[in-house]
């Protein structure tokens, strides 16, 4: 039985929220500078991620990568690592705390402790018009972790499904590093859900998804602040309008293109240093 509310319950609920991490002291990316880098960059590679599969790709420091919807509405689950130190990887939770639940142009993908620095910056997003809909849904979330066979096993009464994003990313990174899948699995982390439309229901606070507004030709482009190893899964949920963790949904490939910026275009730009905290923790 829930407890009965105190006499001042309404007053307590009426207290206005404060932003946990006001972003006025967060270093801002110089998007005009990145646009000049992009104008000088040329394409060096492309990878097609087949439906219900994952693929890895590498991006040189100060290069760019673009994820494009090519054949039909499709959601992608993105993992990022420092290509020179795979322990430094994308930290979805702190990125969410700093930029909010959904990302778009100018937002950055931050790395985990103790590095905590920008790994990538979103420089263009053709879905930036979407904003938040009447249900509270937005695009490109950092709230949804990734679909995985363990949660599916738990909720389905013991069903085995091997093409959840967690498994697709595991196979992709295993193929890239040469590790066994059981070892490579530990490298997979909470994702940025590219093109996915999600939110929390207003009444019960439950995580929801709805048909992605992405259409063929839409893309999101990222600037590599450090050398990156990336992996992308074309989610078995397809556009995530109804279901995931099965072969039921219509699924389409995703295109990843990589661009390199010539050194002479960079001027005095430098990769962000690792976080300056001294790690003594008061000991």
Mask: binding to Zn ion, 114-133, rule CB under 5 A, as x and -?
A: --------------------
CA distance readout (Å), 229 to 57, 60, 120, 164: 6, 9, 11, 20
CA distance readout (Å), 82 to 90, 112, 122: 9, 11, 17
Number of helices (H), then strands (E), in the chain: 6, 13
User: Would you say 21 or 150 has its CB closer to Zn ion?
Assistant: 150
User: Would you say 51 or 118 has its CB closer to Zn ion?
Assistant: 51
User: Would you say 167 or 261 has its CB closer to Zn ion?
Assistant: 167
- Smallest gap, in angstroms, from Cβ of residue 67 to Zn ion? 14
By CB under 5 A, name the one of 56, 147, 209, 224 that touches Zn ion.
147
The answer to whether 165 contacts Zn ion (rule: CB under 5 A) is: yes
**Residue in this structure with the two tokens 């009447």, named with its chain if needed:** 134
Which range, of 42-50, 115-123, 164-172, 274-282, touches Zn ion by CB under 5 A?
164-172
The answer to whether 191 contacts Zn ion (rule: CB under 5 A) is: no
User: Would you say 108 or 146 has its CB closer to Zn ion?
Assistant: 146
- Smallest gap, in angstroms, from Cβ of residue 51 to Zn ion? 11
User: Would you say 56 or 235 has its CB closer to Zn ion?
Assistant: 235
Phi first, then psi, for residue 167 (nearest 5°) are: -70, -40
CA distance readout (Å), 228 to 28, 61, 142, 145, 206: 20, 7, 19, 20, 33
Q: Which residues contact 165 (CB under 8 A, 6 or more apart)?
A: 54, 77, 146, 147, 148, 191, 233, 235, 236
- Smallest gap, in angstroms, from Cβ of residue 144 to Zn ion? 8
- Smallest gap, in angstroms, from Cβ of residue 236 to Zn ion? 6
User: Would you say 173 or 224 has its CB closer to Zn ion?
Assistant: 173
Which range, of 5-13, 48-56, 161-169, 270-278, touches Zn ion by CB under 5 A?
161-169
149-156 and 165-177 are packed helices; what angle lies between their axes, rounded to 10 degrees? 150
User: Would you say 61 or 235 has its CB closer to Zn ion?
Assistant: 235
Which range, of 52-60, 137-145, 147-155, 203-211, touches Zn ion by CB under 5 A?
147-155
By CB under 5 A, name the one of 184, 192, 235, 251 that touches Zn ion.
235
CB 77 within 8 A of CB 68: no
The answer to whether 197 contacts Zn ion (rule: CB under 5 A) is: no
Six-digit token string for 120: 């990538």
For residue 118, the Cα-to-chain-centroid distance in whole angstroms is 13
CB 209 within 8 A of CB 245: no
- Smallest gap, in angstroms, from Cβ of residue 77 to Zn ion? 5
Six-digit token string for 88: 């430094």
DSSP 68-116: EE-SS---EEEEEEETTEEEEEB-HHHHHHHH-SB--TT-EEEBPTTT-
Site of interaction with Zn ion (CB under 5 A): 147, 165, 235
């Amino acid at each position: 039985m829930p407890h009965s509310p105190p006499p001042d319950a309404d007053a307590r609920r009426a207290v206005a929220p404060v932003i946990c991490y006001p972003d006025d002291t967060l270093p801002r990316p110089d998007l005009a500078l990145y646009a000049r880098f992009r104008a000088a960059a040329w394409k060096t590679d492309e990878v097609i991620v087949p439906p219900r599969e994952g693929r890895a790709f590498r991006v040189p420091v100060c290069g760019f990568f673009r994820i494009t919807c090519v054949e039909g509405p499709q959601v992608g689950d993105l993992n990022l690592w420092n290509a020179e130190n795979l322990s430094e990887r994308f930290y979805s939770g702190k990125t969410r705390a700093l930029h909010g639940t959904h990302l778009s142009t100018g937002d950055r993908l931050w790395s985990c402790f103790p590095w905590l620095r920008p790994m990538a910056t979103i420089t263009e997003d053709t879905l930036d018009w979407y904003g938040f809909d009447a249900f509270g849904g937005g695009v490109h979330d950092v709230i949804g972790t990734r679909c995985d066979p363990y949660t599916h096993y738990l909720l389905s009464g013991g069903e085995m499904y091997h093409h959840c994003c967690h498994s697709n990313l595991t196979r992709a990174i295993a193929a890239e590093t040469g590790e066994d899948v059981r070892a490579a699995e530990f490298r997979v982390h909470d994702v940025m859900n590219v093109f996915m439309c999600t939110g929390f229901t207003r009444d019960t606070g439950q995580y929801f998804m709805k048909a992605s507004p992405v259409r063929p030709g839409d893309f999101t482009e990222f600037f590599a602040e450090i050398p990156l190893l990336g992996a992308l899964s074309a989610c078995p949920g397809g556009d995530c309008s109804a279901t995931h963790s099965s072969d039921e949904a219509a699924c389409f490939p995703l295109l990843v293109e990589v661009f390199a910026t010539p050194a002479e275009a960079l001027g005095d730009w430098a990769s962000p240093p690792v976080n300056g905290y001294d790690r003594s923790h008061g000991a």
